[in-house]
Amino acid sequence: MRYLSRTHPGFFKNKRVLLRADFNIENPKDPNGLFRLEATIPTIKKLLRGGAKKIIILSHRGRPSSSEADLSLRPLAPLLAKRLNSEVDFALAENINKIKKIIKSSRAKIILLENLRFFAGEESNDPKFARAIASLGDIYINDAFAVSHRKNASIVAITRFLPSYVGLLLEKEMASLNRVRKVEKRPFVLIVAGAKTADKIGVLKYFAKKADYILLGGGPANTFLRAAGVPVDSSLYDPRLTSFAGKLLRNRNIILPVDSLGEKNRILDIGPATERLFSKIISKSKLILWNGPMGQFEIKRFSSGTGSIWRAILKNHKACVVVGGGETVASAKLITNNLKLLTSKRKNIFVSTGGGAMLDYLAGNKLSGIEVLNHKK
């Protein structure tokens, strides 16, 4: 693989760089939401320092069915310009030839393209579309870890047409997750909760024998409780996975909630005794991996469990911590509205930008967008 971090200063001089970033930001007005944009800043700064002629930023936003105005990337251009203190132009056009003209005539060094998913070729990994975007630049950098499990044109097919590099963020994501996969420190605690138990099975399998403790909440906890013969009534759980859960329960490292909060026969959060039990284990761990809110934290009454995990993690200054998942990261609002400041102060905590990509990577599945970076061109 070729890494941006290993290029010599001046390497990008006079080059037009295509940077695939992950600006899939739900609400640009929410400062915590901008954490994904923030994560790409070091890469952009390095390219600016390296003398790149143009930095053309490619991203998608949301899951548009056509060009929906509220999924435009336009609001991010001024935010990026302000953050970098540099001009950023936004290129909106119905085809790549027009975009090429906009880029040529623009004085700005940085150009943000409109939501790639507004083009049909992006999600179908269309080589013609990939070739057209590739023609906008001289080299390509993937810094969009969160999308690297997707066979999209700007992630996979584009690498056929340009020399391709691993961006600083993608490299950091892989290094942090590799540290966890290798269980570099012990005790190691894996915390898995959230809604979609099926998505987390790969991670549970991979770490089943490796983790010192596996703390469960949310849908996964309910599925395991069910497997253990505890009635969970109308709570969220995955009936297809109870037999798998039953097998895993033989491992003594699985720790289930001992109490819960809820309503109408539904478990919607862990209870106070579980908060204490989980916090204690977190406090004595040296390596922590967390995916999935402990309860329906979007509702204040059921946010206490998730908040307690964040607080326990913050109290542990010695552990190496990796936190990831769309809603898990969103739940940071329970403890801060400045996630950027928090992670810059607490170097022991790494917040992954990946949801599905992180779970895939941790489980050991190959990510198409990373695999193609192995091929030399």
Work out what residue 305 binds among Mg ion, ligand ADP, none; the CB cut-off runs from 5 to 8 Å by kind. none
Cα–Cα distance for residue pair 372/165, rounded to 1 Å: 10
Residue 353 interacts, among Mg ion, ligand ADP, none and using kind-specific CB cut-offs from 5 to 8 Å, with: none
Phi, psi dihedral angles at 22 (to 5 degrees): -115, 90
Sole window of 1-9, 106-114, 192-200, 205-213 interacting with ligand ADP (rule: CB under 6 A):
192-200
From the CB of 119, what's the least distance to ligand ADP, in Å?
Answer: 27
Tell me which residue of 358, 25, 377, 372 sits closest to 200, measured CA to CA. Answer: 358
DSSP 190: E
Exactly one of 137, 292, 307, 354 binds ligand ADP (CB under 6 A); that residue is 292
Instruction: Please tell me whether residue 191 binds ligand ADP under the rule CB under 6 A.
Output: no
Give the chain's radius of gyration (CA, Å): 22
The span from the CA of 76 to the CA of 148, in Å, is 21
Query: What string marks each residue from 340 to 359 as x (binds ligand ADP by CB under 6 A) or -?
Result: ---------------x----
Q: Is 327 in the site for Mg ion (CB under 5 A)?
A: yes
The structure tokens listed for 297 are 């934290």
**Contact at 8 Å (CB) between 259 and 272?**
yes
Which of the listed partners (Mg ion, ligand ADP, none) does 28 bind, with a CB threshold of 5 to 8 Å by partner kind? none
Tokens of 39: 């994560």
Q: Is 101 helix (H, G, I), strand (E, B) or coil?
A: helix
Select the binding partner of residue 236 from Mg ion, ligand ADP, none (C-beta < 5 to 8 A, by kind). ligand ADP
Q: In the complex, which residue's CB is closest to Mg ion?
A: 326
Q: Which residue is nearest to ligand ADP (CB)?
A: 325
Q: Which does 267 bind (CB under 5 to 8 A by kind): Mg ion, ligand ADP, none?
A: ligand ADP
Binding span for Mg ion by CB under 5 A among 61-69, 93-101, 203-211, 318-326: 318-326
293 binds, among ligand ADP, Mg ion, none (CB under 5 to 8 A by kind): ligand ADP
* Angle, alpha carbons 204-258-292 (nearest 5°): 40
Distance CA 346, CA 352 (A): 14
Out of 279, 326, 346, 363, point to the residue binding Mg ion (CB under 5 A).
Answer: 326
Residue 267 binds ligand ADP, judged by CB under 6 A? yes
Q: What is the dihedral of CA 104, 106, 112, 113, to 10 degrees?
A: -50
Per CB under 5 A, residues contacting Mg ion are 326-327
